[in-house]
Amino acid sequence: MSAMPQRRRGGRDQLLAVALRLFARDGIQATSLQGIADEAGVTKAGLYYHYKTKDEIVLDVLKPLLDALPAVTRRAEAHRTRAARVDEVLGGLIEIALHEHSGFVVLMQDPYLTRLLGQQESMRQWWDETSALMLGPDPDPQTRIGLAMFISGLVGASRDPAMADLDDRTRRQTLLECGRRLLQRD
């Protein structure tokens, strides 16, 4: 019983790693199955042993991320003060942005994925619930838009060259400070 990811050539986990890298770099639409197969050292038909369609690969690649987001919200709901809930969500999103950066880019920006998930509506529902949790009742526009800027800006900020100089703890702290500033009440 091996729960370890199998990174063997052509193994599922290696296919997913290759696909994620290419999706983040070139976009899903521009990433061909041929390209994934080449980089993974298998043939195009080899992919079809593991997956029936390209969309199945896309969803499997994003699965860990799509599970991680509701988990953050569930942890935040356990807190009793709004400030604590905000910090929990900010910290959780920052953690994801830093350590699953490729997936986060795809999730936030790829129009192919937007269309694929748009049919499900689950993503929008998660964000409505989570933002309501952070903003509380009757949020002012400034805070509302500050939150939108944070979630959208997290992609670019975590890719910034200045990030390279910082250790992991400082990265989290810096991004958290950005979020707090954007969400502070007047």
Partner DNA sequence: GTCTATACGTCGATAGAC
Partner DNA sequence: GTCTATCGACGTATAGAC
Q: Residue 47 CB, nearest distance to DNA (Å)?
A: 8
Quick one: which of 101, 109, 116, 126 contacts a copy of itself (CB under 8 A)? 109
**Position among 5, 13, 26, 63 found at the interface with a copy of itself (CB under 8 A):** 26
Q: If you ran DSSP here, which 8-state letter would residue 120 be given?
A: T
Classified as helix, coil or strand, 119 is coil
* Closest alpha carbon to 44 in 24, 15, 5: 15
CA angle 105, 108, 109 (to 5 degrees): 80
Where does residue 138 fall: left (phi above 0), alpha (psi -120 to 50 degrees), or beta otherwise?
left
Q: Which does 146 bind (CB under 5 to 8 A by kind): DNA, a copy of itself, none?
A: a copy of itself
Closest C-alpha among 66, 68, 53 to residue 19:
53
**Contact present, 143 and 90 (Cβ < 8 Å):** no
For residue 91, state whether it binds DNA (rule: CB under 7 A). no
Q: What, of DNA, a copy of itself, none, does residue 44 touch, CB below 5 to 8 Å by kind?
A: DNA
- What does the per-residue mask of binding to DNA show for 32-71, with x meaning CB under 7 A? xxxx-----xxxxxx-xxx-xxxx----------------
Residues that bind a copy of itself (CB under 8 A): 25-27, 29-30, 108-112, 115, 141-142, 144-146, 148-157, 159-160, 162-163, 165-166, 170, 174-175, 177-178, 181-182, 184
